[in-house]
């Protein structure tokens, strides 16, 4: 899967940077080191800040790579939990490292780092919370409404093909959306399906409603297979009614 490749590349890059800083002592890679005064550089070397930075990146790399078996084993909500824990670990270690910076910069940097990290963590939690909320489907006057995150509305007369599928395309690429091991939501593209489209999918339920429309494909399902079947019947009835009225 593409996500495993990308995850592995990011982890490998972090490992290389950690090795160069911590093991090879290439401190020029540490942000701000090259522009520091000779006195500051000496203090950073003596108080262990540079060595700590190398260890921090090693911890970051290893924690990141622990996400690979979670992805491979497709642990339900495992990746979401891992990302939150990863953020907490990096935040804690970074704040701990700030104590080793120069005293005159420590207080200001601690506040800045704390605010940035808290905002980041809250944003991640809110994003996953919104992404976990179900998409609701309703049909009114031949218009199909998908309500929730990345909501969408289109007319049944835009549908050129409607069918149930049991597998998703293998070449899906997220262009603007939310994607985890259990949820695909938003804008995606697929050469197998002819280009751009939208996904409102729980991967744990391998029963999907596929619609090809004039503006791209739409794939949707519910956590509940019975509700997915109900949605399909409603869409099919709206499509049949629309065609009969033509």
Q: For the purposes of burial, counting CB atoms within 10 Å of the CB of 156, is it exposed (0-12), middle (13-18) or buried (19 or more)?
A: buried
Instruction: Check whether 226 has a pLDDT greater than 90.
Output: yes
**Residue matched to tokens 């950073």:** 44
Locate tokens 């909501």: which residue? 151
Output the six-digit token pair for 63.
């924690």
Q: What is the pLDDT of residue 77?
A: 59
Q: What is the pLDDT of residue 114?
A: 60
What's the pLDDT score for residue 118? 67
Structure tokens at 110: 């601690």
Tens digits of per-residue pLDDT, 30-83? 877 788 888 888 887 888 888 888 888 898 889 889 888 876 775 655 666 777
User: Average pLDDT over the chain, rounded to whole?
Assistant: 82
Q: Report the C-alpha gap between 187 and 198 in whole angstroms.
A: 5
173 CB neighbour count, 10 Å cutoff:
13
- For residue 89, name the pLDDT band (cuts at 50, 70, 90): confident
Q: Mean pLDDT: which of 72-81, 115-124, 137-146, 180-189 is highest?
A: 137-146
């Amino acid at each position: 899967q593409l996500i495993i490749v990308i995850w592995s590349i990011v982890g490998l890059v972090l490992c290389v940077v950690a090795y160069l800083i911590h093991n090879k002592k290439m401190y020029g890679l540490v942000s701000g080191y090259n522009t520091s005064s000779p006195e500051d550089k000496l203090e950073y070397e003596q108080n262990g800040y540079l060595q700590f930075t190398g260890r921090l990146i090693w911890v970051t790399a290893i924690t990141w790579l622990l996400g690979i078996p979670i992805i491979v084993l497709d642990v339900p909500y495992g990746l979401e939990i891992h990302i939150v824990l990863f953020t907490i670990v990096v935040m804690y270690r970074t704040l701990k490292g700030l104590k080793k910076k120069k005293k005159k910069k420590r207080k200001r940097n601690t506040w800045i780092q704390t605010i940035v990290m808290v905002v980041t963590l809250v944003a991640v939690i809110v994003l996953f919370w919104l992404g976990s909320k179900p998409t609701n489907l309703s049909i009114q006057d031949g218009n199909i409404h998908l309500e929730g995150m990345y909501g969408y509305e289109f007319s049944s007369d835009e549908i050129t093909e409607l069918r149930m599928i049991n597998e998703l395309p293998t070449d899906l690429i997220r262009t603007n959306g939310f994607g985890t091991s259990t949820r695909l939501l938003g804008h995606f593209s697929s050469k197998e399906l002819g280009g751009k489209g939208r996904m409102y999918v729980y991967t744990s339920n391998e029963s999907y409603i596929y619609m090809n429309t004039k503006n791209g494909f739409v794939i949707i399902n519910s956590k509940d297979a019975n509700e997915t079947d109900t949605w399909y019947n409603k869409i099919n009835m709206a499509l049949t009614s629309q065609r009969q009225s033509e």
